[in-house]
Amino acid sequence: MIAVSVKGPCDLEGKIWAVTDTTRRPSKRQKDLADIARLLEAHPETRRLVPAEILRRLES
């Protein structure tokens, strides 16, 4: 398995788009959601940039 890291807060906007894009495969959307969770752990100050719907999904 190859590990791909999320670069940082600059990736957040793209990840948010990817999670909300219903044309993407569900497995890819789950991966993007996990990437957002990792970004928030590493950069908690970016939490305010994440839509409430995605934050709810992360907390459930």
Dihedral (C-alpha) 1, 44, 60, 51: value to the nearest 10 degrees?
-100
**Statement: residue 18 has pLDDT above 50:** yes
| Domain spans, the chain | 9-59
**pLDDT value for 6:** 56
User: What is the mean predicted confidence (pLDDT) over 19-31?
Assistant: 97
What percent of the chain is helix, strand and coil (3-state, nearest 5)?
A: 70, 0, 30
**pLDDT value for 1:** 45
Q: How many CA atoms lie within 13 A of 17 on its CB side?
A: 5
